[in-house]
C-alpha cells in the first residue's frame, strides 16, 4: 500500500504544479517537471536521456493533444516511452507559418529550416535570400501544400497549427514524418503563448537562448503591466473590422483580450468564454462597443489607411464613437511585422497599447506597430 501511495502522491504534486504555475521543479516518475510559469497547455519533463513534451488539448482540457519524446541522435528508440519521437536538434524542418519561421531565425536556427509554406508572407531576410537562391524549398500554400516537394525535402519534422475537430492532415499523415502541433496560439495569455519558445528552443538545440529570450520578454512585460496599473482610466477598446458578414472579437479568455486588460483597458467582449476570436454580427458589435474610446485595426495594403477610406468600406463604421472622434489606430501589416513578432514579443505590443490607451502615463514609447489614422 505504501509503495502505491508514493507514485500517486508524485502525480498529485505534478498536477498541482501544472495548475499553480510556480517556479519550483518537482520529481515525477523519475523525471524533473520543468514548470511553466504562464503556459497552460504545455508541460516539459526532463529525464536522463530524453525530454517529454506533453501538449494538452486546448479544446478538451481533459485530454492530451500530443506527446513528443525529444531525444538525441545516439539514443536507441526502443528504450523510449510512448510518444512521437523527435531527434534533436532538428536539422531539416518544414515550417508552415511565418510566425514560427521568424522565431526559429531569432533563436539562430535559420539554417535548420529546409522548407516553408506561404512564402509570400516570409519576411525574415535570411529566409527570403534562401528562397531567391533556391536553397530553401517553397512547398506551396499551407492549405494545399506541394506534396512532391515535401517528399523531395524529406524533413525531419513539419511544424503546423492544429485546429479544433481536425480529423487528420490528409496526405501528410501518410508520409511518416513527425508533425509538431504548434498550438501555442490557443494559450489564454500573451506570456503563456510566448513561453512556448522553451519548447521550440529544445527542438532546435537552443534551450539556453530560448530561456534567456523568454526571461527578458516576461520581465519587460510585467514591468509594463505594473506601469499600466498607475492609470485610473480604463478606456473601452473596439477591435478590427468586419470580414464579410462576420466581425471577429477577442473572447474573454483570448490572448488579445487579456492584453487589453494588461494594458489597463476594457474589452467589451470579455464576457465571452472563447479563448480565441468570437464571430459576431455587426449589430452585436455595435450594441456592446458603439461607445468605445479607442479602435484598434489591422490591415494589409501598399499605403496607410485613412478614416475616409475606412468609412467607404462599411457605412456602419462611421457610427462608432472612436471613428467620430478620430481615435482609430491601425497596423499596416505589409510594412509592420505585427504577426511575425508579437506572439513571442508581447512586451513590444503591450508597450504600444499602453502608449495608445494611456498617454497620460508618459511612457515615452514610440509606437512600433500602430499609427493613428489620418482623416484622408
Give 167-219 pLDDT, tens digit per residue: 778 889 889 999 999 999 988 899 999 999 999 999 999 999 999 999 999 99
Per-residue pLDDT tens over the stretch 231-281: 999 999 999 999 999 999 998 888 899 999 999 999 999 999 887 789 999
Give the model's pLDDT for residue 54: 96
Q: Are strands 371-372 and 328-332 parallel, antiparallel or unpaired?
A: antiparallel
Query: Helix (H, G, I), strand (E, B), or coil: what is residue 129?
Result: helix
The pLDDT score that the predictor gives to residue 254 is: 87
Beta-strand relationship, 371-372 and 277-280? unpaired
How confident is the model over 46-102, as pLDDT tens digits?
A: 998 999 999 999 999 999 999 999 999 887 777 889 999 999 999 999 999 999 999
pLDDT tens-digit series, residues 335-358: 999 999 999 999 999 999 999 999
Choose the final residue of a domain: 162, 188, 216. 216
> What's 174's domain CATH number?
3.40.50.1980
Q: Is 41 part of any domain?
A: no
Query: pLDDT band for position 29 (50/70/90)?
Result: low
28: pLDDT confidence band, cut at 50, 70 and 90? Answer: low
d(CA 234, CA 263): 9
How much of the chain exceeds pLDDT 90, in percent?
78
The pLDDT value given to residue 263: 97
With respect to residue 17, please indicate whether it lies within any of the assigned structural domains.
no
Average pLDDT for 21-29: 42
- The alpha-helical segments, DSSP class H, found in the chain are 2-20, 98-106, 125-133, 147-153, 190-194, 197-203, 207-228, 255-262, 282-289, 307-313, 321-324, 338-341, 346-357
Same-domain status, 241 and 366: yes
In a domain, 4, yes or no: no
Same domain, 196 and 310: no
Any domain includes 272: yes
Supply the pTM of this predicted model: 0.87
User: Do 238 and 361 sit in the same domain of this protein?
Assistant: yes
What is the domain range of residue 190?
85-216
Q: How many helices (H) and strands (E) does the chain have?
A: 13, 19
Q: How many domains does the chain have?
A: 2
> What is the 8-class DSSP label of residue 246?
B
Amino acid at each position: 500500500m505504501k509503495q502505491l501511495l508514493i507514485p500517486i502522491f508524485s502525480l498529485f504534486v505534478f498536477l498541482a504544479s501544472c495548475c499553480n504555475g510556480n517556479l519550483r521543479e518537482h520529481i515525477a516518475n523519475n523525471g524533473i517537471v520543468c514548470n511553466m510559469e504562464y503556459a497552460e497547455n504545455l508541460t516539459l519533463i526532463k529525464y536522463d536521456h530524453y525530454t517529454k513534451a506533453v501538449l494538452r488539448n486546448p479544446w478538451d482540457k481533459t485530454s492530451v493533444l500530443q506527446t513528443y519524446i525529444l531525444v538525441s541522435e545516439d539514443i536507441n528508440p526502443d528504450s523510449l516511452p510512448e510518444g512521437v519521437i523527435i531527434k534533436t536538434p532538428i536539422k531539416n524542418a518544414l515550417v508552415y507559418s511565418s510566425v514560427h519561421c521568424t522565431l526559429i531565425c531569432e533563436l539562430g536556427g535559420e539554417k535548420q529550416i529546409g522548407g516553408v509554406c506561404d512564402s509570400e508572407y516570409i519576411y525574415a531576410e535570411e529566409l527570403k535570400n534562401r528562397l531567391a537562391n533556391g536553397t530553401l524549398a517553397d512547398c506551396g500554400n499551407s492549405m494545399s501544400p506541394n506534396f512532391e516537394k515535401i517528399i523531395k525535402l524529406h524533413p525531419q519534422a513539419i511544424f503546423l497549427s492544429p485546429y479544433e475537430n481536425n480529423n487528420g492532415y490528409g496526405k501528410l499523415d501518410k508520409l511518416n514524418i513527425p508533425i509538431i502541433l504548434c498550438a501555442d496560439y490557443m494559450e489564454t495569455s500573451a506570456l503563456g503563448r510566448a513561453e512556448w519558445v522553451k519548447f521550440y528552443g529544445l527542438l532546435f538545440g537552443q534551450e539556453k537562448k530560448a530561456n534567456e529570450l523568454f526571461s527578458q520578454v516576461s520581465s519587460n512585460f510585467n514591468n509594463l503591466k505594473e506601469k499600466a496599473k498607475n492609470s485610473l482610466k480604463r478606456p473601452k477598446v473596439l477591435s478590427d473590422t468586419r470580414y464579410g458578414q462576420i466581425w471577429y472579437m477577442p473572447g474573454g479568455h483570448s490572448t488579445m483580450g487579456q492584453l487589453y486588460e494588461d494594458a489597463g483597458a476594457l474589452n467589451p467582449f470579455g464576457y465571452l468564454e472563447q479563448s480565441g476570436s468570437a464571430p459576431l454580427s455587426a449589430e452585436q458589435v455595435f450594441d456592446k462597443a458603439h461607445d468605445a474610446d479607442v479602435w484598434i485595426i489591422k490591415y494589409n495594403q501598399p499605403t496607410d489607411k485613412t478614416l475616409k477610406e475606412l468609412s467607404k468600406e462599411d457605412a456602419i463604421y462611421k457610427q462608432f464613437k472612436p471613428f467620430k472622434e478620430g481615435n482609430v489606430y491601425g497596423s499596416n501589416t505589409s510594412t509592420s511585422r505585427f504577426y511575425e513578432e508579437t506572439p513571442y514579443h508581447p512586451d513590444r505590443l503591450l508597450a504600444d497599447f499602453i502608449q495608445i490607451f494611456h498617454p497620460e502615463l508618459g511612457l515615452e514609447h514610440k509606437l512600433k506597430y500602430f499609427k493613428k489614422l489620418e482623416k484622408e
